């Protein structure tokens, strides 16, 4: 029995991103397509950053989740184009990031406010952070450092 693709999307929305487990791989916008090719389930995944070390773990986690739901024939396709953009981060994902303490991407090129105290008195510490997708900022009101999800 083949589950419909909407059901599969629902399963994948329960697969956490390995580095930011508060959001799912669907929230992150890296699952680009789910289709049935005959009796094989094909999932197209796009990397966030070229060298993101989480990519292979994500593939493994997606495959494991699908197998746990009884899908045996799985094909994971790496899809480069169009390249991933933070515009694909879901609204649900952005809200979860913020409550987790990571400022969500903002087109202004920096966080709009501190995810803890909501102050807008902020300072960039470094353009890079603990993962390729984040930068390091500091709030000058509550003095807490925080991660900002870079906008690309």
Partner 1 sequence: MPQDALFQTLLRLGDNTLVLGHRVSEWCGKAPVLEEDIALANTALDLIGQTQMWLGYAAEVESAGRSADDLAMLRDVWDFRNILMVERPNGDFGHTIMRQFLFDAWHRPLLAALAQSNDHRIAEIAAKAVKEATYHLERSAETVIALGDGTEQSHARMQDALTLLWPYVGEMFESDEVDAQMAATGVVPAPETLKDSWMQTVRATLIEATLAIPEDEFAHKGGRTGVRHTEHLGHMLTQMQWLQRAYPGANW
Q: Contact residues for partner 1 (CB under 8 A)? A: 47, 49-53, 80-84, 125-130, 132, 136, 150, 152
The minimum distance between CB 83 and partner 1, in angstroms, equals 4
The minimum distance between CB 9 and partner 1, in angstroms, equals 24
Judged by beta carbon, residue 10 or residue 145, the one nearer partner 1 is 145
Judged by beta carbon, residue 69 or residue 136, the one nearer partner 1 is 136
Which residues are registered as beta bridge partners of 78?
45
The minimum distance between CB 38 and partner 1, in angstroms, equals 26
143 Cβ contact partners less than 8 Å away, ≥ 6 residues apart: none
Judged by beta carbon, residue 95 or residue 143, the one nearer partner 1 is 143
| Helix extents (H) in the chain | 5-12, 54-68, 91-100
Query: Tokens 């699908």 label which residue?
Result: 66
Judged by beta carbon, residue 96 or residue 150, the one nearer partner 1 is 150
d(CA 139, CA 143) in angstroms, rounded, equals 5
The minimum distance between CB 127 and partner 1, in angstroms, equals 5
**Whose CA is closest to 96, among 16, 30, 32?**
16
Q: Show the tokens assigned to 102.
A: 């990571």
């Amino acid at each position: 029995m083949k589950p419909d693709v909407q059901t599969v999307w629902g399963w994948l929305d329960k697969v956490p991103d390995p580095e930011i487990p508060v959001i799912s791989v669907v929230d992150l916008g890296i699952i680009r397509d789910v289709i049935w090719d005959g009796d094989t389930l094909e999932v197209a995944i796009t990397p966030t950053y070229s060298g993101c070390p989480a990519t292979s773990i994500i593939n493994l986690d997606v495959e494991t989740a699908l197998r746990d739901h009884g899908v045996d024939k799985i094909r994971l396709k790496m899809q480069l184009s169009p390249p991933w953009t933070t515009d694909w981060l879901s609204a649900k994902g952005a809200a979860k990031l913020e409550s987790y303490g990571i400022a969500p991407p903002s087109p202004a090129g920096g966080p709009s406010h501190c995810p803890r105290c909501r102050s807008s008195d902020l300072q960039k510490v470094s353009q890079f952070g603990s993962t390729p997708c984040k930068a390091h900022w500091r709030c000058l009101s509550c003095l807490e450092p925080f991660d900002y999800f870079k906008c690309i």
